[in-house]
Every structure is written in structure tokens, then in C-alpha cells.
Amino acid sequence: MSGKFITFEGIDGAGKSTHVDWLAGVLRERGKTVQVTREPGGTPLGERLRDLLLNEPMRVEAETLLMFAARSEHWAERIEPALSRGEWVICDRFSDATYAYQGGGRGLEKSKLQQLEQWVFGRRQPDLTLLFDLPLEVARERIAVANRPLDRFEQERADFYQRVRQAYLERAHAHPERIRVIDANNSLDHIHKQLEQIILNNRSG
């Protein structure tokens, strides 16, 4: 039996965190051992790097390298060992987010990201990526309702987020077998049904 690696992607306010816990519950009910984790973060060092990444002004190069420093620890210390034990890993953001934010949003060349991926986790990609897509204005409204302080990314302007959304959609278009686009503008109920369908159809173990 081998575990599955599922990642959740999408712009801030799309509903990733909301659905991560729900999916973990569904899988546990079906007898799976599930690790829920997030990026940047997921390890003690990774969480410290997250704090820097979300709050400390820095250039895109440092931002990208710190993301991958955190991801390297996360992959080697937590994700890969769990998958080897046959567990499922559900991760709130992973490498596609770096293509979307640092690549699409900040304009960093894709080839640099490909090299870093190769170094950090080789050819292994998530088994399934759920991309929560929705109009920027809806995402913004949801974040505003939550009424909490905005991090360094959430404070970015609308055109940055349009590029991030676009880069995510391009990535889904380039990897249709792995990335499923979810219309995150639907009700929670509707999305849960859709996720159940996708997971059941993807299930091999």
C-alpha cells in the first residue's frame, strides 16, 4: 500500500484551509492515516521561515530560496517519510504556489524554479492537486470578512493577484492529469461533493 500526496492550491481566500481539514476527516473515516500540513511551514524550521516569509520585506530571490529551504526540510523530514510509511499527506500549498506567486506574481523565471524542484524533491510530484479558483474580488471579500491582519502577500495589489491566478490556471492547463480546477465560488456543500467524487475516482489503495 502506498500513501497519496494531495496538495491544495489557490489564491488567498479561495478556501484551501477550510477544505483541508474536511478532507482529512473524510479520509480518516475511510481508515486512512492522514498527515495534514502546510507550506511554507510543516516543520519547526519551516514554521520559523514561514514567519519571515510572511512578514519580512525581501527580494524575490531570497523569497524563493527561503521557500525552497523550508520545502527541502518539509519534504525530507516529513512528507517523504510519511508517504513511505503508506500514509496520506494533505498539504495546504506546495510547489505550484511558488510558480504562481514568485513566478507569475513576481516574474521569476520558471527555469530557476524547475532547477530548485529537481534539487529538493526530484521528479516526484503530488498525486493530485486541487486548485481552488475564484474571482479576485470574491477572495478579497472573504478575507475582509475574516477581519484579521493581512500578511505580506495578502497586502499585494490586485494586478499581482491577477497574475498569480493566471499562473495557477496555466499550470493546471499544462498538467491536466494532476491538477483539478475547483470552482471555489460555489457553496461549501457543492465543493465537498465534488471533492468526494474526485478523491473516490482517484483512489487506488
Task: Select from ligand ADP, Mg ion, none the partner in contact with residue 188, using the beta carbon and a kind-dependent cut-off of 5 to 8 Å.
Answer: ligand ADP
**Binding residue for Mg ion (CB under 5 A) from 14, 17, 69, 77?**
17
DSSP conformation class of 5 = E
**Calpha distance 198→29 (Å, rounded):** 17
Tell me the sheet residues that pair with 88.
34
Q: How far is the CB of 114 from ligand ADP (least distance, A)?
A: 25
C-alpha cell at 140: 478579497
Q: Are 195 and 130 in contact (CB under 8 A)?
A: yes
Show the CA angle centred on residue 126, arms to residues 12 and 69, nearest 5°: 70
Q: In one letter, which amino acid is 149?
A: P
Show the binding pattern over residues 137-176: x = contacts ligand ADP (CB under 6 A), - = does not.
Answer: -----x---x------------------------------
How many C-beta atoms surround the C-beta of residue 136 within 10 A?
17
Q: Are 64 and 102 in contact (CB under 8 A)?
A: yes
CA dihedral 94, 135, 143, 174 (to 10 degrees): 0
Residue 40 interacts with ligand ADP (CB under 6 A): yes or no:
no
Listed ranges 47-55, 113-121, 156-164, 186-194: which one lies at the site for ligand ADP (CB under 6 A): 186-194
**Total residues at interface with Mg ion (CB under 5 A):** 2
**Total residues at interface with ligand ADP (CB under 6 A):** 15
Residue 9 interacts with ligand ADP (CB under 6 A): yes or no:
no
In the bound state with ligand ADP, the residue whose beta carbon lies nearer, of 12 and 73, is 12
Q: Which positions lie near ligand ADP, rule CB under 6 A?
A: 10, 12-18, 142, 146, 184, 186-188, 191
Q: Given the rule CB under 5 A, which residues bind Mg ion?
A: 16-17
